[in-house]
């Protein structure tokens, strides 16, 4: 088998780091660390602490809110159907 290729990223301040090292420092997955390194080379952005509230938000709102909107729409449609019968 071949040697595992590890990409070493050079930051703006001259330090060199790979995604596995960054993942250990931040306590995130290697995939999350790799995404940070691909997006920016600014150490301030890369070493920024992980905030669970900042990521993975639905752009259209919470599931509870969506369910409420669906119920309102269903009741309006049901009323419309019952009027025309």
For the entire predicted model, the pTM comes to: 0.58
∠ CA 57-62-63, rounded to 5°:
125
Q: What is the pLDDT of residues 2-45, one digit of tens each?
A: 577 789 999 999 999 999 999 999 999 999 999 999 999 999 99
d(CA 33, CA 28) in angstroms, rounded, equals 7
pLDDT reported for residue 54? 67
Res. 60: pLDDT tops 60: no
State the residue for tokens 């259209």.
60
pLDDT reported for residue 56? 55
User: Which of 1-5, 36-40, 48-52, 55-59 is the least confident region?
Assistant: 55-59
**All residues at 6 or more sequence positions from 23 whose CB lies less than 8 Å from its CB, including other chains:** 29, 30, 32, 33
């Amino acid at each position: 088998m071949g040697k595992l290729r590890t990409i070493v990223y050079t930051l703006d301040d001259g330090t060199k780091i790979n995604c596995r090292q960054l993942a250990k420092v931040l306590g995130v997955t290697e995939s999350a660390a790799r995404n940070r390194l691909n997006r920016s080379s600014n150490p301030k952005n890369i070493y920024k602490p992980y905030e669970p509230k900042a990521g993975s938000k639905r752009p259209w709102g919470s599931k509870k809110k969506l369910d409420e909107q669906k119920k309102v729409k269903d009741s309006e449609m049901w009323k419309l159907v019952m009027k025309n019968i």
